[in-house]
Amino acid sequence: MRPQSWIIVAVLCVTIIQISRAVAASSIDDKILSLPGQPQAALFYYLTEAECDPTSKPVVLWLNGGPGCSSFRLEAFSENGSFRPGGGGLLVRNDFSWNKEANMLYLESPAGIGFSYSAKQSFYALVNDTITAQDSFIFLQKWFVGNALLEFNTDFNSEDNYYWAHGVVNYEMLNLEIPTINIVGSLVSSGIRVLVYSGDQDPAVPFTGSRTLVDGLAKRARIECNCALLVGGWTQVYDDILTFATIRGAGHLTPLTSPKRSLALSAAFLAGNPLPEKL
């Protein structure tokens, strides 16, 4: 090949490389990173059906506190779940699991907790109670709709660690366009029974603080207290709507440190019965 031909080939190669680079740069610039309505977060949940006749049992939504603790890791596999870690990497059955009396739904919320995540790392620095409430509410809307387990009933009870107030029931969110779940007003004013409990040997969140909180809620709601001092713990009941109880001998993680009494308390509350006088 003559020298002039080599020059032409070299120029063509350089031109092709430059065009390829330009196309590559253009492709990167045109890459679609997000679409309108595209989910930016994924919330992980773990459901254990009630051991017997799950369609007749209530659904308990468990949200962990911490802040930032995993409901799946801590509660589902350390406290009130069906199994606990045993020796040699094996799981052992929990004889006092709460799914004996209810369908247990453990939600890792907000995104960034446990297996829940966001597609945008910057999201984690923006998380607050409002965002957590919105994401959790949207999750519940999608989870409850079309769930065969829940076709019998759209009401649900909730358990939450008040140490970190998630704000899942947010007064400002009650006027959403699609009332998928029958939440009318706040829990107490709607006549839905509320139970707050503490271990009487909890050094992290002493029961005296929880009792003061509940007493303040009762005063604002103008409901009277009928107290009964019980040896199995200590209860304070306000018009059978709002109840505070301590669990004797229990620490901060009550289902872990006092599983039998915790299950008895949960079972009585879910069944609408008075708390047991002795255990």
Q: Would you state the pLDDT for residue 203?
A: 78
Q: Would you state the pLDDT for residue 253?
A: 77
Average pLDDT over residues 149-166: 44
- Per-residue pLDDT reduced to its tens digit, 2-36: 555 544 444 444 444 454 454 444 445 545 455 44
The DSSP annotation for 215-266 comes to HHHHHHHT--EEEE--TTEEEEEETTTEEEEEETT--SSHHHHSHHHHHHHH
Q: Could you tell me the pTM of the whole model?
A: 0.62
Q: Would you state the pLDDT for residue 93?
A: 92
Q: What's the gap between Cα 28 and its chain centre?
A: 38
Average pLDDT over residues 181-205: 65
- For residue 278, the one-letter residue type is K
Average pLDDT over residues 54-77: 83
- Tell which wins on pLDDT, 247 or 95: 95
Do residues 239 and 246 touch, judged by C-beta distance below 8 A?
Answer: no
- Measured CA to CA, the distance from residue 12 to residue 107 in angstroms comes to 60
Q: Domains, the chain, ranges and CATH?
A: 37-180 (3.40.50.1820), 186-279 (3.40.50.11320)
Average pLDDT over residues 75-96: 87
